Amino acid sequence: MAQDTEKKPEWLTVSADSAIIKLSKIVKVNQVDTDQLTMRSPTIREVRNATKAAPGDEEQIELILFASLTDAGANDLVELSVRDYKRLQVGYFRLVREDRV
Protein backbone atom coordinates (compact mmCIF):
# COMPACT_ATOMS: atom_id res chain seq x y z
CA MET A 1 0.00 0.00 0.00
CA ALA A 2 1.38 3.41 -0.99
CA GLN A 3 1.79 5.92 1.77
CA ASP A 4 1.30 9.68 1.35
CA THR A 5 4.59 11.17 2.52
CA GLU A 6 3.80 14.65 1.19
CA LYS A 7 3.34 17.10 4.05
CA LYS A 8 0.15 19.17 4.00
CA PRO A 9 0.83 22.92 4.10
CA GLU A 10 -0.27 24.73 7.27
CA TRP A 11 -2.41 27.11 5.20
CA LEU A 12 -4.54 24.26 3.80
CA THR A 13 -7.38 22.33 5.44
CA VAL A 14 -8.87 19.54 3.33
CA SER A 15 -12.00 17.48 4.01
CA ALA A 16 -13.77 14.93 1.82
CA ASP A 17 -15.66 17.60 -0.14
CA SER A 18 -13.89 20.93 0.38
CA ALA A 19 -10.61 22.71 0.99
CA ILE A 20 -10.09 25.86 3.01
CA ILE A 21 -7.17 27.86 1.66
CA LYS A 22 -5.71 30.54 3.93
CA LEU A 23 -4.38 33.38 1.80
CA SER A 24 -1.15 35.25 2.47
CA LYS A 25 -3.00 38.55 2.68
CA ILE A 26 -6.51 39.96 2.83
CA VAL A 27 -8.19 40.29 -0.55
CA LYS A 28 -11.56 41.48 -1.76
CA VAL A 29 -13.79 38.70 -3.11
CA ASN A 30 -17.37 39.48 -4.09
CA GLN A 31 -16.86 42.93 -2.52
CA VAL A 32 -16.00 41.38 0.87
CA ASP A 33 -12.55 41.41 2.49
CA THR A 34 -11.34 37.90 3.31
CA ASP A 35 -8.13 36.06 4.12
CA GLN A 36 -9.34 32.62 3.03
CA LEU A 37 -11.27 30.89 0.29
CA THR A 38 -13.26 27.69 0.55
CA MET A 39 -13.15 25.49 -2.52
CA ARG A 40 -15.62 22.67 -2.91
CA SER A 41 -14.94 19.47 -4.76
CA PRO A 42 -15.76 19.73 -8.49
CA THR A 43 -18.37 17.78 -10.37
CA ILE A 44 -17.82 16.38 -13.83
CA ARG A 45 -20.47 18.84 -15.10
CA GLU A 46 -18.46 21.81 -13.78
CA VAL A 47 -15.25 20.56 -15.36
CA ARG A 48 -17.03 19.99 -18.69
CA ASN A 49 -18.71 23.42 -18.57
CA ALA A 50 -15.40 25.17 -17.93
CA THR A 51 -13.79 23.23 -20.78
CA LYS A 52 -16.63 24.19 -23.14
CA ALA A 53 -16.41 27.86 -22.09
CA ALA A 54 -12.74 28.16 -23.04
CA PRO A 55 -11.81 25.39 -25.48
CA GLY A 56 -8.07 24.92 -25.76
CA ASP A 57 -7.20 27.59 -23.16
CA GLU A 58 -6.04 25.66 -20.07
CA GLU A 59 -5.43 28.79 -17.98
CA GLN A 60 -8.90 30.16 -18.66
CA ILE A 61 -10.51 26.76 -18.04
CA GLU A 62 -8.80 26.58 -14.66
CA LEU A 63 -9.79 30.15 -13.79
CA ILE A 64 -13.44 29.52 -14.70
CA LEU A 65 -13.45 26.29 -12.71
CA PHE A 66 -11.79 27.85 -9.64
CA ALA A 67 -14.24 30.76 -9.72
CA SER A 68 -17.14 28.32 -9.77
CA LEU A 69 -15.71 26.15 -6.99
CA THR A 70 -14.96 29.09 -4.68
CA ASP A 71 -18.11 31.09 -5.53
CA ALA A 72 -15.79 33.97 -6.39
CA GLY A 73 -15.78 36.13 -9.46
CA ALA A 74 -13.09 35.34 -12.03
CA ASN A 75 -12.20 39.05 -11.93
CA ASP A 76 -11.54 38.71 -8.19
CA LEU A 77 -9.33 35.66 -8.68
CA VAL A 78 -7.12 37.36 -11.26
CA GLU A 79 -6.32 39.98 -8.63
CA LEU A 80 -4.81 37.35 -6.30
CA SER A 81 -1.07 37.27 -5.93
CA VAL A 82 0.66 34.46 -7.79
CA ARG A 83 1.51 32.95 -4.41
CA ASP A 84 -2.17 32.80 -3.37
CA TYR A 85 -3.31 31.54 -6.77
CA LYS A 86 -0.78 28.71 -6.47
CA ARG A 87 -2.34 27.90 -3.11
CA LEU A 88 -5.70 27.52 -4.86
CA GLN A 89 -4.06 25.16 -7.35
CA VAL A 90 -2.62 23.05 -4.53
CA GLY A 91 -6.01 22.97 -2.80
CA TYR A 92 -7.71 21.87 -6.01
CA PHE A 93 -5.27 19.06 -6.70
CA ARG A 94 -5.53 17.87 -3.10
CA LEU A 95 -9.32 17.76 -3.49
CA VAL A 96 -9.33 15.68 -6.65
CA ARG A 97 -6.49 13.36 -5.65
CA GLU A 98 -7.73 9.91 -4.65
CA ASP A 99 -5.26 9.42 -1.81
CA ARG A 100 -5.84 12.78 -0.10
CA VAL A 101 -7.63 11.39 2.98
Full-model pTM? 0.86
At CB < 8 A and 24+ separation, what contacts does 69-74 make?
69/39, 69/40, 69/41, 69/42, 70/29, 70/37, 70/38, 70/39, 71/30, 72/29, 72/30, 72/37, 73/29, 73/30
Q: Give the model's pLDDT for residue 8.
A: 86
pLDDT of residue 97: 85
* Residue-wise pLDDT tens digits, 29-70: 999 999 999 999 999 999 999 999 999 999 999 999 999 999
- Supply the mean pLDDT for the chain: 91
Q: 2 pLDDT exceeds 70?
A: no
Domain limits, the chain: 12-96
